[in-house]
Amino acid sequence: MNSMPPATNGKFRYRFAPSPTGFFHVGGARTALYNWALALKQDATFVLRIEDTDEARNKPEWTAGIIDALAWIGIGTGDPHFEGPYFQSQNSEEHVAAAHRLYEAGHAYYCDLTSEQIQERAKVNGKPGYDGFSRDRGLGPGPGHVLRFRVPEGVTVVDDLVRGRVEFDNGTIEDFVLLRGNGTPMFLLANVVDDILMSITHVVRAEEHLPNTPKQQLIWSALGYAPPVWAHVPVLVNEQRKKLSKRRDKVALEQYRDEGVIAPAMINYLMTLGWAPAGDAEIVPWEKIVNEFRLEDVNHSPAFFDEKKLASFNGDYLRMLTTEQFVTACSPWVTNDSVPWSRGDFDARIFSAIAPLVQTRVGYLSEVPSMVDFLFLDQPLIDADALAKAMKPEWASQLLRDVVGVFAACDWQHDVLKTELEKIGESHGVKLGKAQAPVRVAVTGRSVGPPLFESLELLGRDKTLARLKAILD
Ligand code: GLU
């Protein structure tokens, strides 16, 4: 290896290096987008490297899931800024060779202590961790011998674009392991060697890797390279300000996609976790984001991943669609196997007619079927609690009887239906808002939904009257 930074043709090289050990986490998606935005802004390269060396935890389907999820948020092949995917497991020989070079140059040494022996010594020393026992024992490679990095004295300064200058006293960093007793490389080493091999100039990643960074920076310089530009982006937390966790929180990007978050909303929302575009608006086009995004402006503190706010972003994005685009976006939700109506009863024309009214009210597309099911079901799915509540006032039954009488004969247009119900309400001394409640539950089965009178117009007189009578019976 040479002592010059790797040639990059003057172009910066970013990378995203996920480990395929589970569903693709929204935090990972945010990190990927930060890297992607910078690659586009600076006409740089975004390298996708799958860190698949933990054989026990990796599964090929997770890798496919990551590639698919990245493509969904606009990152992938087909764009000249994208390079990869590369697979870390294919570079094992390079990782081991780099470790041997470190050993030859005196930056690393072998150690044969077992973890029990290390713990024993730590007890005696009154200090946790490995105490450098084998530093000068001159051991060579052998079965069960790990290769450890010889951490020099001094201070390691990490210049981080997000965190600023972070100093680490090398005295607090133990001589960490580069190669395991079976000769396989550790993550810290593989990650650095790959970054060097791939001429990476900028490492933008999750904050949880900050404690690794002084060790990695020491490896970079021991191998003869200037370190990359570092940037550690803050973690995502839940409402209780706890780090988002797979076990507790909904963290899979795929899950949001499957609930009907659309990609532009997800991209915009993720970018604003820890960063904000100039001006008051948070909903901004991707081009503006790319133009304005700077790591220097990323917040240090943890960012709250707020599902409600995401739903509101998504709702705003859904409302920006034309009706036709919205109908197309809804299509997978209203034509799949889990809808409550029988397939043959779905009427695309009626759905297109109600779509603009649904479009103004929906957050996740997965909410759409329950907003329109009353139009395609023979009998609405009645929410018993909502019905009991709506029928509780003593005027409710008589009001429904009056409605049946009037609706049997009036013109079947939403504005007429509205005026008629308003009059009937008045005769019972209740305002339109209240008078609507029993009608809505009787006809749609629920207490909330798209605007009532337009819904009735679409449902038709016969079905509406039959449902009202069914409740009165
Ligand atoms: N493979 C690591 C992870 O998924 C990322 C390491 C890095 O970005 O340097 O957490």
Residue 4 pLDDT > 50, yes or no? Answer: no
Q: Find where tokens 């791939």 sit.
A: 198
pTM: 0.91
The per-residue pLDDT for 245 is: 87
CA of 95 to the centre of ligand 1 (A): 16
The per-residue pLDDT for 396 is: 97
CA of 440 to the centre of ligand 1 (A): 52
Of the residues 14, 26, 51, which should be mutated to test ligand 1's pocket, given the most ligand atoms within 8 Å of the CB?
51
At residue 290 the predicted structure's pLDDT band, cuts being 50, 70 and 90, is very high
Instruction: Write down the mean pLDDT value for the chain.
Output: 95
Q: Is the CB of 207 under 6 A from ligand 1?
A: no
Nearest to 60 by CA among 85, 39, 37: 85
The per-residue pLDDT for 128 is: 92
**Sign of the four-CA dihedral 323, 329, 335, 338:** negative
CA distance 410 to 424: 13
The per-residue pLDDT for 1 is: 37
Residue 419 pLDDT > 90, yes or no? Answer: yes
In this structure, what DSSP letter does residue 243 have?
B
Cα 27 → chain centroid = 6
Q: Is the CB of 18 under 6 A from ligand 1?
A: yes
The per-residue pLDDT for 204 is: 98
Q: Which residues of 286-304 are buried (b: 16+ CB within 10 A; e: fewer)?
A: eeebbebbebeebeeebbe
Nearest to 240 by CA among 308, 306, 313, 310: 306
CA of 208 to the centre of ligand 1 (A): 9
Nearest CA to ligand 1 atom 4: 18
In this structure, what DSSP letter does residue 262 have?
-
Three-class SS state of 290: helix
CA distance 446 to 431: 19
Domains and CATH numbers, the chain: 13-85+188-234 (3.40.50.620), 95-186 (3.90.800.10), 253-334 (1.10.1160.10), 379-472 (1.10.10.350)
Region 113-132: what's the mean pLDDT?
A: 95
Region 297-305: what's the mean pLDDT?
A: 95
Per-residue pLDDT tens over the stretch 187-204: 999 999 999 999 999 999
The per-residue pLDDT for 2 is: 36
Q: Is the CB of 205 under 6 A from ligand 1?
A: yes
Cα 227 to Cα 197, 243, 294, 352, distances in angstroms: 13, 29, 20, 57
Per-residue pLDDT tens over the stretch 155-193: 999 999 999 999 999 999 999 999 999 999 999 999 999
The per-residue pLDDT for 51 is: 96
Element (H, E) at 210: none
Q: Is the CB of 19 under 6 A from ligand 1?
A: yes
At residue 5 the predicted structure's pLDDT band, cuts being 50, 70 and 90, is very low
Three-class SS state of 439: helix
Beta strands in 97-191 (DSSP E): 108-111, 146-149, 155-160, 164-169, 177-179
Nearest CA to ligand 1 atom 7: 17
Number of Cβ within 10 Å of residue 338's Cβ equals 7
Per-residue pLDDT tens over the stretch 256-273: 999 999 999 999 999 999
CA of 268 to the centre of ligand 1 (A): 23
Catalytic residues: 246
Per-residue pLDDT tens over the stretch 307-366: 999 999 999 999 999 999 999 999 999 999 999 999 899 999 999 999 999 999 999 999
Residue 3 pLDDT > 70, yes or no? Answer: no
> How much helix, strand and coil, in percent to the nearest 5, is found in the chain?
50, 10, 40
Region 236-249: what's the mean pLDDT?
A: 92
Asked, as a colleague might, if the bond just before 152 is cis with ω within 30 of 0, I would say no
At residue 472 the predicted structure's pLDDT band, cuts being 50, 70 and 90, is very high
Tell me phi and psi for residue 177, to 5 degrees.
-85, 135
Number of Cβ within 10 Å of residue 11's Cβ equals 13
Per-residue pLDDT tens over the stretch 421-447: 999 999 999 999 999 999 999 999 999
The per-residue pLDDT for 398 is: 97
The per-residue pLDDT for 8 is: 56
Per-residue pLDDT tens over the stretch 37-94: 999 999 999 999 999 988 777 788 899 999 999 999 999 989 999 999 999 999 999 9
Those residues whose C-beta lies under 8 Å from the C-beta of residue 116, and which sit 6 or more positions away, are none
CA distance 227 to 217: 6
Nearest to 334 by CA among 322, 345, 346: 346
Would strands 146-149 and 177-179 be described as parallel, antiparallel, or unpaired? antiparallel
Element (H, E) at 59: none
Cα 167 to Cα 171, 173, 202, distances in angstroms: 12, 12, 19
Q: Is the CB of 81 under 6 A from ligand 1?
A: no
Three-class SS state of 225: coil
The per-residue pLDDT for 223 is: 98
